[in-house]
Chains A and B, each alone.
Chain A
Amino acid sequence: EADIYQTPRYLVIGTGKKITLECSQTMGHDKMYWYQQDPGMELHLIHYSYGVNSTEKGDLSSESTVSRIRTEHFPLTLESARPSHTSQYLCASSEFGVETQYFGPGTRLLVL
């Protein structure tokens, strides 16, 4: 069983607030990912990282930012939340050179 955690699980906030979604993994994986999952279930890669101090934007343009200061931690920040950011955010990790990704339970974000 994968050990990857996301907090909070649910978040309701007002427009304009700054938020940080936390993601941590205890498997020592080098690669980490953030996906946005829309109500139609489709997954969109928004950020990924190959290791400490490495971050890249994914296929879907996102107003969020990420950082990777420690191997186990990959937080995602929205400086000013908007209703269009309402979605589920999934964090994942994998070993370098191994394609299988392990997912956290997700954060459901509602911006009013």
Chain B
Amino acid sequence: GDSVTQMEGPVTLSEEAFLTINCTYTATGYPSLFWYVQYPGEGLQLLLKATKADDKGSNKGFEATYRKETTSFHLEKGSVQVSDSAVYFCALSEDSGYALNFGKGTSLLVTP
């Protein structure tokens, strides 16, 4: 079935460093792809999404491009801040449409 694989954490970066969190997927159809973020003690928030190949989702300085040829949706940010410390989840919508399929999450810690 459809699945998502994202890089294992924790990822530790200094403030203003460049961030990449890798996400690859397997799917039989044409899923939509998502990045969610979970700050400590909170639920998940939608960060960005892309619904078709070559679409770029962006929000709060984060970007991800839907690459069908490499089945990837890597999350990037040019300059991270301490406030970006959180857990990031990659997800896809299954063909059945009943739920999102989440990756295992990547913890990011940004130090001053």
A residues apposed to B, CB below 8 Å: 6, 33, 40-43, 45, 48, 50, 56, 58-59, 90, 92, 99-106
B41 to chain A, nearest CB (A): 8
Closest to A31 in B: B98
* Residue interface bits B86-112, CB-to-A below 8 A is 1, else 0: 010100010001111010110100000
Is there a chain A Cβ closer than 8 Å to B32's Cβ? Answer: yes
Closest to A56 in B: B98
Contact between chains at A48 and B98 (CB < 8 Å): yes
B residues apposed to A, CB below 8 Å: 32, 34, 36, 38, 41-46, 49, 87, 89, 93, 97-100, 102, 104-105, 107
Closest to A45 in B: B99
Q: With A and B bound together, what is the CA distance between A106 and B41 in angstroms?
A: 8
Of A43, A58, A106, the contact of B42 (CB 8 Å cutoff): A106
Q: With A and B bound together, what is the CA distance between A80 and B45 in angstroms?
A: 31
A7 to chain B, nearest CB (A): 13
